[in-house]
Structure 1
Amino acid sequence: MITYDGHVHTPFCPHGSKDTLQAYCDYALELGMKGLTFAEHAPLPKSFIDPTPEKDSGMSWERLHDYFLAVKEVKRQYEGRLTISMGLEIDYIEGYENETKAFLNEIGPELDDSILSVHFLRHQNKYVCLDYSPESFAELSQLYGSTDKVYENYYETLTKSILSDLGPYKPKRIGHMTLVNKFQKKFPASLSERQKLRDFKILSYVKEQGLSLDYNGAGLAKPYCNETYPPKAVAEEAAKRGIPLIYGSDAHTAKGLMTGFDQLSQNVSLSSPV
């Protein structure tokens, strides 16, 4: 039985549910969990224009302080019953590294835990949210010229995120590293998982940088994915290399806690981020 969920969203997410932080915590206790990381989508860089229709990929800058206060309050309320970590899911956006580093330097002391994820891909001066919809993925395929090129550019951007210098508060965990697979049944690539990961060279970078991986169950609930991020074979290879794997439901509702857990590989040991 997993005792820690390292990737949990909140009502501060503009594209999530309105379930309270207390609702998440109460359900976690009902499930017998010992702890969780609230890892809300951080505000995007102020000079970056969110390409999604509702401009709702991250929380607003105005709500960040309230988010910190709310998590601190539930940490106090559930002390001794549930370990709660203050976290954020930080977007790595190619070309916005300096702004991201400055943001992390400012708010890093507030954080117990954090995740670094790639949601946006750049083509020339245009950015597209990779996982927003099948239509957004199709747009990327058209921009890059093929589905395989989308995968190639995603993993190039992921590699840049792993190797990026984002300062002392850079997140220590890479979020859903195979998120590009979200629509794979609709847009299949011709490459094997090993080839897409350049024969697991990306795992070597993760190991060299001393990072961990978000072993994310959300893909199992996506109809065009039906697998974890990363899939079992990659998770098992990461475990062989001594890379910590931290389960994350990526829950956007309280009842989303534990999503996909029963389908994780039984050949890997899970770690806690704290």
Structure 2
Amino acid sequence: MTINRDGHIHSPFCPHGSSDSFHNYIESCIKNGIKTITFTEHAPLPEGFTDPVPDKDSAMPLAQLDRYLRELNDLQSEYNNDISIIKGLEVDFIEGFEKNTEQFMNTYGPELEDCILSSHFIKINSEYICIDFSPEHFDRFVRLSGSPQKASELYYRTVLRSTRAPLGTYAPKRIGHMTLIRKFHRNYEYDFLDQNAIQAILMEVQSRGLELDANGAGTTKEKCLEPYPHPSVIQSAVQMGIPLVYGSDAHASSGLLAGSNDISALTGKQLRQ
């Protein structure tokens, strides 16, 4: 199956990404036969939330958001006859900041067309840890949790909360990289696949009419080497009729189409184009 849509692409506005221009991404997509793309830059973090990574570069600053949207508007017009460009954001679900996120989406939602809701920052005790930042940060998350199993339970509990979060009329409709906790799984004997929790999330996604981000970025990570969600989760989603949208999660134009062959093989015709 040919990938015609990439629903998860970052941009030059990503503080921890590349300097590749929008045009680099778009021209590469056109060259590879992709017909529809969504730019989903990391949304500005909520006011009052302190970015826990060392360089404080997890997300686009709020001061740049209007420019990001204006540039996408211009690009939609420029490439109108060549490719469909959709304006979006990757919004963080952060426990305790749901109201702030709802207010943000109420403000900017009318200008957005396709958003992803992702869980990167997991609250443990009185702090938040960005679990995919580095093996060291993830190791600390596991230690503070008490064990790999407890870390897994906490992560999936957070993802489940994200599916139920009251984020208003413009809440994102797609859950991002659902098994992100497996990014460093090859460093552990535990598999970080809590089947009961995963099934509960899938049932919630199904009942609420949400989509799943079928994310190929994990296939390029040396301690993961698989898509997010895990192939078994993708197969379960297919059986349940849950819509899946391929996303490269590219932070550089060279990352486009990451894992697309693996995901195509797992999803068949169910991948939403």
TM-score bracket for this pair, using the shorter chain length? over 0.9
Aligned CA distance change for structure 1 residues 190 and 81 (closer, same or farther; 3 Å): closer
Number of residue equivalences = 270
Conservation of the 8 A alpha-carbon contact between 1:217 and 1:264: yes
Once residues 248 and 221 of structure 2 are traced to their aligned partners in structure 1, the CA distance between those partners, rounded to angstroms, is 13
User: What is the Cα deviation at residue 80 of structure 1?
Assistant: 1.6
Instruction: Report the counterpart of residue 45 of structure 2 in structure 1.
Output: 44
The superposition leaves residues 30-75 of structure 1 with CA deviations (integer Å, 9 ceiling, x where unpaired) of 0011010000000000100000000011001111111001111111
Once residues 54 and 98 of structure 1 are traced to their aligned partners in structure 2, the CA distance between those partners, rounded to angstroms, is 26
Instruction: Report the counterpart of residue 10 of structure 2 in structure 1.
Output: 9
Counting only pairs closer than 5 Å after superposition, residues 1-274 of structure 1 correspond to structure 2 as 1-189=2-190, 193=193, 195-198=194-197, 200-264=199-263, 266-268=265-267, 269-272=270-273
Aligned CA distance change for structure 1 residues 265 and 32 (closer, same or farther; 3 Å): closer
One-letter code of the match for 1:110?
E
Which consecutive unaligned segments of at least 5 residues does structure 2 have?
none
> What do you get for the CA RMSD once the two structures are aligned?
1.2
TM-score by length of 2: 0.96
Say which SS state the counterpart of residue 170 (structure 1) adopts: coil
One-letter code of the match for 1:208?
S
Once residues 255 and 224 of structure 1 are traced to their aligned partners in structure 2, the CA distance between those partners, rounded to angstroms, is 20
Conservation of the 8 A alpha-carbon contact between 2:157 and 2:197: no
Aligned CA distance change for structure 1 residues 6 and 199 (closer, same or farther; 3 Å): closer
Conservation of the 8 A alpha-carbon contact between 2:3 and 2:264: no
User: What is the Cα deviation at residue 187 of structure 1?
Assistant: 2.8
User: What is the Cα deviation at residue 196 of structure 1?
Assistant: 3.8
One-letter code of the match for 1:162?
T
Conservation of the 8 A alpha-carbon contact between 2:153 and 2:197: no
User: What is the Cα deviation at residue 199 of structure 1?
Assistant: 6.0
Once residues 198 and 215 of structure 2 are traced to their aligned partners in structure 1, the CA distance between those partners, rounded to angstroms, is 21
Conservation of the 8 A alpha-carbon contact between 1:244 and 1:270: yes
Once residues 30 and 14 of structure 1 are traced to their aligned partners in structure 2, the CA distance between those partners, rounded to angstroms, is 26
Conservation of the 8 A alpha-carbon contact between 1:236 and 1:265: no
Conservation of the 8 A alpha-carbon contact between 1:108 and 1:169: yes
TM-score by length of 1: 0.96
**Structure richer in helix, relative to its length:** 2
User: What is the Cα deviation at residue 198 of structure 1?
Assistant: 2.8
One-letter code of the match for 2:241?
G
Aligned CA distance change for structure 1 residues 91 and 161 (closer, same or farther; 3 Å): same
Conservation of the 8 A alpha-carbon contact between 1:152 and 1:196: no
Say which SS state the counterpart of residue 266 (structure 1) adopts: helix
Once residues 225 and 211 of structure 1 are traced to their aligned partners in structure 2, the CA distance between those partners, rounded to angstroms, is 25
